[in-house]
Amino acid sequence: MDLGSIAQVTDLAARALALGGAALAGIVALTHWAVRRRHLAPMGGASKTVRYLSDPLLRPIERRLGRAGMNPQDATLWLVGIAVVLGLALVTVVRWVFELIFAATTLAHASPAVWAATAISGLFGIVMTAIFVRFLAGWFGVSPVSRGMRLLATMTDWLIVPIRRRLPPLGMVDASPLVAYFVLFLLRELVLRLLFHG
């Protein structure tokens, strides 16, 4: 089996896993909704099975929502959102890994300019990904002092903090990560253009 076939099979498996996770989270949300609306008996076999399997995932979300002053019954919707985001992240990471492998095999015979462009693009990509993950984590209420968020802050504060100081507030939405992402995108294109066109 060649590398291209392995990449295709892995990509299909990641997509199936992402879709399956989102579907299972959807079943949990629908079951809880049906029990609340009295379409399903709370002590029925299906309800009890879904509750038994999903409670370990829902309880931490319910606690976090309760601490944030939100309705813990919305935990099932948050579970669906988390499943979708994690599924997209899984597919993205799998594709990124194989793109990295393909790039490495292509770079074996490339010029120094192509090596430099790939390294620069990769560095920009890492920081842009960190900004995107930080933005999503903020929406999902992940604590900014957790270990992962501190790492993301270290990687991105050098750009986000100055933008936040100058950007007028947009209600409750902090748009500075989105502006930082757009700035990095434009800067990467400019640097690559200068590298190849002098």
What is the model's pLDDT at position 192? 82
Residues 126 and 87 in one domain: no
| Residue owning tokens 């399903």 | 40
Question: Domain limits at 164?
Answer: 110-198
The structure's pTM equals 0.62
Q: Which of 14-18, 61-65, 106-110, 156-160 has the lowest mean pLDDT?
A: 106-110
What is the model's pLDDT at position 15? 92
pLDDT in tens, 99-116: 778 777 877 777 887 788
Confidence of residue 186 (pLDDT cuts 50, 70, 90): very high
Could you tell me the two tokens for 87?
């599924």
- The three-state secondary structure class of 131 is helix
Please provide the average confidence, as pLDDT, over all residues in the chain.
85
Residues 153 and 85 in one domain: no
- The three-state secondary structure class of 170 is strand
How many domains, in total, are found in the chain?
2
Residues 115 and 74 in one domain: no
**Is residue 1 over pLDDT 70?**
no
Closest CA to 152 of 133, 138, 136, 178: 133
Residues 115 and 64 in one domain: no
Residues 6 or more apart whose CB falls under 8 angstroms from that of 181 comprise 128, 131, 132, 135
Residues 86 and 147 in one domain: no
**Is residue 171 over pLDDT 70?**
no
